[in-house]
Structure 1
Amino acid sequence: MKPSRRVLLAAAAAPAFAGLAAPATAAGWSLPPEGGVTETEHVWIPMPDGVRLSARLFVPDTASARPVPAVLEYIPYRKRDGYRGHDSAWGHQLASRGFAYVRVDVRGSGDSEGVQVDEYDVPELDDGVAIIDWIARQSWCSGAVGMRGISWGGINTLQVASRRPKALKAIMALGTTDTRYGNDAHYVGGALGHTNLQWGIDFKGVMAGPPDPAVVGPAWETMWRQRLAATPPIMETWLRHQTNDAYWKRGSLDQDWGAIQVPTYVVSGWQDSYSNPVGRILTHLKVPKKGLIGPWGHTYPWTAAPMSLDWAVEEVRWWTQWLKGVDTGIMAEPMLRAFMPYATWAESRPQEIPGRWVAEPTWPSPAIALRVFHLAPGGLAAKPGPAHTATYVGDRVVGLTKPEWIDRPPIDQALDDARSLTFDSAPLTDDLEILGYPTFKVRIGADVPVAKLAVRLTEVTADGRSWLVTYGLKNLTHRQSDSDPAPLEPGKLYDVEFPLFMTGYRFRKGSRIRVAISENLWPLAWPSPRIATLSLALEHSRLSLPVRPQESAPAPFPIPIRHAAADTASPAPAVTTAPVSPGHYRIELNTPPAPFTWPDIKTTTARGHWETVELTEGQPNSGFWRQQATSAWTRDAWDCEVTATIELKSTETEFLLTESLTARQAGQVIFERSEDTRITRNLV
């Protein structure tokens, strides 16, 4: 997913974050003292086809005499009035420590020329290579360039690096993914994710937003109208690609792990679905590499709450190692650092999650061993039980306690557990720590051609409460391949094995480990076309946990940690679990516009978001998802607004999609378009 997610936007929009980089020492390396910075609000970077991209520069004052390496951040989130706070703060952090920081709006976004019609499109990636070449030729640049970013910026960092620009020497990708189909904001385990609509509505606003006349001049209105006319019904595009076809494979790192040839640092948080690719990336890349997973969500390590990191220490150290050729000792340290939680985020909030930082010299870690729990009629057992078939009818709404792929936190799982098949272990006699990918193997069948399997792994504490540790969802028609699904043959059993989301966690002594099984998780994923009854051969079904032995002494952690007061400023959003009428569930999340004025550019921005999802138990095609978002920009006579709406329904054989886009200038409609589309369901 992208930084349009609400949690990340809140962090990125902050005008500044004070005291980010107090001097510190790590492995004999010291963070250099701050120096002067020259900031340039706008520079045009010409592309080979004549389109110009808008850049904001932060360059050390000394660079004219002694050229410095540069770090690029390249995203479509409006450097002028969207990410200004983040860019200003981080630009000064890097430039004051001896690195130029170059922030560029993607073609067709913010103040850059051209149009944008999809994420990570070929022109965007071609431009990325050209930008790096342009940076390396500047008089203030030493010729060495790094690239970094989170979410969209982390994802296109991997994709641009895969094209091997000559001047690119190292990358840092935060909240990134190695597979566009399997672990981005579209499909979850081969099922249509609600996040597809949530991200789609945000992205329509990104593509359709106006440039700022203070930057681009009188051409701004012509540029805006070009963008509006070019903005596609993006949800239709994504919904026409329901399998991992060539559309998704282009740009997916897992299609060619050898494409990246530069040192790579990947970073995420356990509450972020983009933590899942970290283990795979560290496993498969054949370059100098590091990884870090913290106890936060889809945000930056330095803006997380209530625990954050003095990230300038680590990032400047990384760039010093690879862009300046100075051995800072960073590569002599463990390949993976991860926070080991002693409780879930849901039960700890708003207090800091208890736990400690652990380190693995290499990944996969040879110290981690699988512990197998077999499903049996009496619960989870150490050995396979007698032959037994368990059945589950997927006619209940399950998933209200884990409603979203990203952003909304899970709560106590008891409600969903009561509507699932559950298998509990005996109380643990000791703490049990896991780090990695739990895997679930099952012999399963269904009475319909299309069905899903959802597996939640929870800790049932001594007081009887159930807390989500990790989960997995699998469209069973994708049991062998996400590219070539095959319908289920009713009555036939299949052996299916798939990983749950990567996790790190300590199950507490006296707790029970629970496996909870259902046919779906809603509203996380769209319902199957028909009610499915699942049949599970328990004697052939098991959970394997990656158990990590506890070290005798805590591993040293060289990055300074900041502990703040309880995170009461951002309370967990309410989760709706009660039906509005018997069997009828509706969730509404409404965020009215909250205007914010950027004091230095005298521009006011505002964004509102309205979401409704509905489903009636026993009626899988009663599902309804609706997203609406409005963005506005005003300054003196410049007054622009964009409103986008997406609605989705289904029949047993088709998706019914409506997308609309409206733009207003000074309150008057200047553009309006609405499209209705019927798309055949492809075993989804």
Structure 2
Amino acid sequence: MQSGMTGISQISRLVTAAAIVIAGGLALPSTARAEPPPKHVSGNTTIPVYSYAGAAREVVWVRSSVDSDGDGALDRIAVDIVRPVDPTQPDLKVPVIIEASPYYTCTNACGRGNELERKLYATTDPASPVSRMPLYYDNFFVPRGYAFLAVDLSGTGRSKGCADIGGPGEVLGAKAVVDWLNGKAKAFRADNTPVTAPWTNGKVGMIGKSWDGAIANAVAATGVPGLRTVVPISAVSSWYDWERLNAGLVAAVSSMDDLHLKVTGRPPAACAATRTTLQTAGAAVDHNAFWGQREPVAQAGNVQASVFAVHGMNDLNVKSSNFGRWWQQLAAHGVPRKVWLSQEGHVDPFDFRRAAWVQTLHRWFDQWLQDLDTGIMSEPMGSVERGADVWADSAVWPPTGTHNVVWSVRSGNGVTGELTTGAPQGGEAAVTDVAISEPNAAAAPEIGKAGRHVFLTAPLAADLHTAGAATVVLRIRSSVPSSALTVRLVDYGPRQRVNWELGSGITTLAPETCWGAQTPADDACYHETTKNVIATDTSVLSRAWLDTAHRKSLADPTPMPADTWETVVLRLHDTDQVIPAGHRLGLVVSLTDSTYTWKAATGGSVQIDLHRSLLRLPTAPA
């Protein structure tokens, strides 16, 4: 906007003159002059023109809307800022990239990125700005006309409040930072003097992996104005799904209280009440109000930002169902979006597809935060890793024409069942509840084993492409009121595969590459990685778990009536895989999973009614 205002009489004269000219059939010449682009814009891209060494570095505390530690004062959230300055452009206003994280200063084997970087400060003075920012975002983007803000989540680093693990304290604290950048919240310096952000245009993007990505999702789900895009990487969209497998079972991961202890920066007494909540409500196996506060997927209809999601299909920390349900809801609400799906586990794309990732992320942020037409929204929506460093693009994801194909389960030879697109047949199969590990359950499908039953296709006549979330429907009769139920889709056939069980699929190498400008205190160089590959005959493609007592409701468990047939439905984790011709697809049914759940085996048994059980497999065109 121009600083001056045109008088009303002058406007009237201009409008009258314009009307006369138009009435006379003459074209009205344009007098508007396009504002020249800032010097960091060249064509449809941003270029590094600002000094990283000369960037402004400061720390402010944004006042949240919640008092998560109950001390009578609203939380103050620490925000470390690195932003470009240019004496020739004193009115320069730039967009902002935020990563809100609990990991910036914790020392218990945590930090940011593959190399576990943490914030470093020049002095111990609370007002000391950051001298080393983790990761490369500031190094790469600040010279290109972006500010980068590293936000300590509530109760971590230099922030007040309490770490409530995806709860209102963390989410609304991070949201307040977006509000401050748009003039809707207050912030203060260390000496308590108010501070504003006149250097930003209010356009904000958020990025982060895992917990950080969960906060990006959750802030987007508040619908906060000014948040233009989020980039969630291996991100949680439901903490219940992460901790309880969305199935009433306890996953073999950290408890909510363990996470608090890992990252908290507050004295124990300050957050005793929060810990009590994490230890009680957060320990509940049943879905409750605590878990309901931590499910941005349920609020996806509020999202006003675009979303670029990245997830490992073999991520057994944040399972791909966290991506899949989020993606499904974003699609239902027409959110502009893009996705990368990799064969790795819990790994940042910077460490499995580095050059392409930085280039793509640059174009994504330029599109959504700099208002440049980079062409990225006209390109394929999906990019999927088929094998180690072999990627295939898809115009939309799941691919157009993907539909559910129903596979029946049959008795087979009595040891190994049959999985077929033919009509169902009668018969039953029995599975005894003994603890069995995933490798043992998936291996050697032709051999009978206690604790599992395998249904196997004939060798496939053509490649089979599945994309999305498969569903298994089982008609069962249980001898016990509650037991675990586990199903897996398995690809049987020799192949070189990413070995996600070793280092989540990558090995860190000695050589480094550099991605942005640097200072003596903050370089932009990171170790290269290589993919871990292995030749195997067996690959688990997707999984699902269920506590049979939660078959009807995650909030209100009901025991299985003895010797009564009931139907249960299991939604497997989202994936995109091609099973080659000649391989066999297996559906492995077991009960207690000793690898990924903590539920004890009951010693009971489950009967499966084969005539009324099936697999619905989302199948993409060949």
TM-score w.r.t. length of structure 1: 0.65
Note the alpha carbon deviations across 1:491-527, whole angstroms, 9 max, x for none.
1111222221111112122211111111121131122
Tell me, yes or no, if structure 1 residue 545 matches structure 2 residue 608.
no
Once residues 290 and 170 of structure 1 are traced to their aligned partners in structure 2, the CA distance between those partners, rounded to angstroms, is 11
Once residues 268 and 248 of structure 2 are traced to their aligned partners in structure 1, the CA distance between those partners, rounded to angstroms, is 37
Once residues 187 and 499 of structure 1 are traced to their aligned partners in structure 2, the CA distance between those partners, rounded to angstroms, is 11
Partner of 1:204: 261
Partner of 1:256: 299
Conservation of the 8 A alpha-carbon contact between 2:286 and 2:555? yes
Question: How do residues 68-107 of structure 1 correspond to structure 2 at under 5 angstroms?
Answer: 68-79=94-105, 82-83=111-112, 84=117, 87-107=134-154
Q: CA deviation at 1:157?
A: 1.2
Q: CA deviation at 1:426?
A: 0.6
Tell me, yes or no, if structure 1 residue 303 matches structure 2 residue 375.
no
Conservation of the 8 A alpha-carbon contact between 1:171 and 1:265? yes
Q: CA deviation at 1:29?
A: 4.8
Once residues 381 and 80 of structure 1 are traced to their aligned partners in structure 2, the CA distance between those partners, rounded to angstroms, is 52
Partner of 2:395: 360
Tell me, yes or no, if structure 1 residue 173 matches structure 2 residue 245.
no
The one-letter amino acid of 1:168's match is: L
More strand by share: 1
CA gap of 1:417–1:115, structure 2 versus 1, over 3 A, is farther
Once residues 45 and 372 of structure 2 are traced to their aligned partners in structure 1, the CA distance between those partners, rounded to angstroms, is 12
CA gap of 1:423–1:80, structure 2 versus 1, over 3 A, is closer
Partner of 2:253: 195
Q: CA deviation at 1:147?
A: 1.6
Once residues 446 and 197 of structure 2 are traced to their aligned partners in structure 1, the CA distance between those partners, rounded to angstroms, is 60
Partner of 2:522: none
CA gap of 1:98–1:185, structure 2 versus 1, over 3 A, is farther
Q: CA deviation at 1:196?
A: 4.0
SS at match of 2:290: helix
Q: CA deviation at 1:99?
A: 0.9
Conservation of the 8 A alpha-carbon contact between 2:438 and 2:595? yes
Note the alpha carbon deviations across 1:536-593, whole angstroms, 9 max, x for none.
011111222222223xxxxxxxxxxxxxxxxxxxxxxxxxxxxxxxxxxxxxxxxxxx
Partner of 2:432: 393
> What is the percentage of aligned positions where both structures have the same residue?
24
Q: CA deviation at 1:364?
A: 4.6
Find 1:384's aligned residue among 423, 439, 451. 423
SS at match of 1:541: strand
Note the alpha carbon deviations across 1:280-338, whole angstroms, 9 max, x for none.
3333222222222122221210123xx44532222222222222222222222233222
Note the alpha carbon deviations across 1:591-646, whole angstroms, 9 max, x for none.
xxxxxxxxxxxxxxxxxxxxxxxxxxxxxxxxxxxxxxxxxxxxxxxxxxxxxxxx
The one-letter amino acid of 1:495's match is: T
Once residues 385 and 277 of structure 2 are traced to their aligned partners in structure 1, the CA distance between those partners, rounded to angstroms, is 37
Once residues 280 and 416 of structure 1 are traced to their aligned partners in structure 2, the CA distance between those partners, rounded to angstroms, is 35
Q: CA deviation at 1:531?
A: 2.3
Tell me, yes or no, if structure 1 residue 43 matches structure 2 residue 88.
no
Partner of 2:364: 318
Conservation of the 8 A alpha-carbon contact between 2:95 and 2:370? yes
Partner of 2:455: 423
Conservation of the 8 A alpha-carbon contact between 1:340 and 1:358? no
Note the alpha carbon deviations across 1:467-494, whole angstroms, 9 max, x for none.
2111111112222222222210111111
Q: CA deviation at 1:268?
A: 1.2
The one-letter amino acid of 2:83's match is: V
Note the alpha carbon deviations across 1:131-177, whole angstroms, 9 max, x for none.
11223451221121222211111111121122222222222222223
CA gap of 1:161–1:465, structure 2 versus 1, over 3 A, is closer
Contiguous gaps of at least 5 residues in structure 2: 1-42, 65-72, 119-132, 183-195, 413-417, 496-535
Q: CA deviation at 1:43?
A: 0.8
Once residues 263 and 109 of structure 1 are traced to their aligned partners in structure 2, the CA distance between those partners, rounded to angstroms, is 28
CA gap of 1:462–1:122, structure 2 versus 1, over 3 A, is closer
Partner of 2:485: 453
Conservation of the 8 A alpha-carbon contact between 2:106 and 2:263? no
SS at match of 2:595: coil
Once residues 106 and 596 of structure 2 are traced to their aligned partners in structure 1, the CA distance between those partners, rounded to angstroms, is 34
Partner of 1:59: 83
Find 1:246's aligned residue among 289, 298, 304. 289
Q: CA deviation at 1:444?
A: 0.8
Question: How do residues 665-684 of structure 1 correspond to structure 2 at under 5 angstroms?
Answer: none
CA gap of 1:416–1:259, structure 2 versus 1, over 3 A, is farther
Contiguous gaps of at least 5 residues in structure 1: 1-27, 210-222, 342-352, 404-410, 551-684
Conservation of the 8 A alpha-carbon contact between 2:96 and 2:205? yes
The one-letter amino acid of 2:101's match is: I
Q: CA deviation at 1:386?
A: 2.9
CA gap of 1:457–1:529, structure 2 versus 1, over 3 A, is closer
Q: CA deviation at 1:70?
A: 0.6
Tell me, yes or no, if structure 1 residue 432 matches structure 2 residue 432.
no
CA RMSD, Structure 1 to Structure 2 (Å): 2.9
Q: CA deviation at 1:192?
A: 1.2
Once residues 155 and 337 of structure 1 are traced to their aligned partners in structure 2, the CA distance between those partners, rounded to angstroms, is 22
SS at match of 1:317: helix
The one-letter amino acid of 2:619's match is: V
Question: How do residues 100-499 of structure 1 correspond to structure 2 at under 5 angstroms?
Answer: 100-116=147-163, 118-136=164-182, 137-182=196-241, 184-197=242-255, 200-207=257-264, 209=265, 224=267, 226-227=269-270, 232=275, 236-237=279-280, 240-272=283-315, 273-285=318-330, 286=333, 287-304=335-352, 307-341=353-387, 353=388, 355-361=390-396, 363-378=397-412, 379-395=418-434, 397-401=435-439, 418-419=449-450, 420-461=452-493, 465-499=537-571
Once residues 614 and 410 of structure 2 are traced to their aligned partners in structure 1, the CA distance between those partners, rounded to angstroms, is 9
Once residues 284 and 45 of structure 2 are traced to their aligned partners in structure 1, the CA distance between those partners, rounded to angstroms, is 49
CA gap of 1:337–1:166, structure 2 versus 1, over 3 A, is same
Q: Which entry has the higher C-alpha Rg, 1 or 2? A: 2
Task: Report the number of matched residues.
Answer: 484
SS at match of 2:262: helix
Once residues 477 and 260 of structure 2 are traced to their aligned partners in structure 1, the CA distance between those partners, rounded to angstroms, is 38
Q: CA deviation at 1:128?
A: 1.8
Conservation of the 8 A alpha-carbon contact between 1:191 and 1:525? yes
Note the alpha carbon deviations across 1:428-478, whole angstroms, 9 max, x for none.
122222111121111111011102211111122169933211111111222
The one-letter amino acid of 2:62's match is: P
Note the alpha carbon deviations across 1:168-191, whole angstroms, 9 max, x for none.
222222222332212x13445221
SS at match of 2:322: helix
Q: CA deviation at 1:129?
A: 2.3
TM-score w.r.t. length of structure 2: 0.71
Note the alpha carbon deviations across 1:44-98, whole angstroms, 9 max, x for none.
2131545433222221233754110011111111258733467252211121222
Q: CA deviation at 1:125?
A: 2.3
Tell me, yes or no, if structure 1 residue 519 matches structure 2 residue 591.
yes
Q: Which gives a bigger RCO, structure 1 or 2 (Cα 8 Å, sep 6+)?
A: 2
The one-letter amino acid of 1:191's match is: L
Conservation of the 8 A alpha-carbon contact between 1:58 and 1:92? no
SS at match of 1:477: helix
